[in-house]
């Protein structure tokens, strides 16, 4: 089972979309193992977006990401990293497929609702960035066998 980090940007709370976007992960069958609301600090924003700090849009991105609370969520499932990216859709929401979160709820490359870890290695670092060990829950989903066949679980 993989774990991945999903982050709902400040536009989600402002636009009243939180329930709807979290619901997409639940319905897909990803198990929520951590969930909390916080205000991102500039320092953590720089760490989270280290690959982008030299870009001209970075100062605006940091301002946006730190000016209002965000919600972070860790989810678990088979190939959860890839599934999370698929549910999110591509970065430029104008090009994101309808049916994806960005495709359905955003029209922007910046105010694009959601972050989803882009690889298993990044996911490990990002889950650890936002959740302490005791904030992640290892529990059994009673309907587990209705989401996956035995051979998929190995």
Beta carbon nearer to Mg ion, 51 or 154: 51
Interacting stretch for Mg ion, rule CB under 5 A, among 59-67, 95-103, 116-124, 142-150? 116-124
Q: Which is nearer to ligand UDP, 57 or 137 (CB)?
A: 57
Q: How far apart are CA 152 and CA 83, in angstroms?
A: 14
- The tokens describing 123, both together, are 């996911």
User: Does the annotation count 51 as an active-site position?
Assistant: no
First to last CA, the chain: 9
* Sites of contact with ligand UDP (CB under 6 A): 52, 57, 61, 91, 109-110, 112, 115, 118
Q: What angle do CA 117, 59, 37 make, to 5 degrees?
A: 50
Using DSSP bridges, classify how beta strands 2-8 and 70-77 pair: parallel, antiparallel or unpaired.
Answer: antiparallel
Q: How far is the CB of 118 from ligand UDP (least distance, A)?
A: 5
Catalytic residue among 48, 51, 67, 115: 115
Query: How far lies 2's CA from each of 13, 33, 80, 117, 132, in Å?
Result: 27, 11, 5, 11, 17
Site string for Mg ion, 59-88 (x = CB under 5 A): ------------------------------
Any idea which residues carry the catalytic annotation? 115
Q: Which residues bind Mg ion (CB under 5 A)?
A: 118
């Amino acid at each position: 089972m993989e774990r991945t980090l999903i982050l709902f940007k400040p536009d989600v709370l402002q636009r009243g979309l939180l329930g709807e976007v979290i619901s997409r992960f639940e319905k897909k069958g990803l198990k929520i193992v951590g969930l909390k609301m916080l205000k991102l600090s500039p320092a953590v924003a720089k760490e989270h977006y280290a690959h982008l700090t030299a870009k001209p849009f970075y100062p605006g991105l940091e301002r946006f990401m730190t000016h209002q609370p965000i919600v972070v969520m860790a989810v678990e499932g088979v190939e959860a990293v890839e599934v999370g990216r698929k549910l999110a859709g591509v970065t430029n929401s104008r090009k994101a497929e309808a049916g994806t979160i960005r495709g359905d709820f955003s029209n922007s490359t910046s105010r694009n609702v959601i972050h989803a870890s882009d690889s298993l290695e990044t996911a490990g670092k990002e889950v650890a960035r936002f959740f302490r060990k005791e904030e992640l829950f290892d529990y059994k989903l009673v309907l587990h066998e209705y989401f996956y066949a035995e051979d998929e679980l190995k």
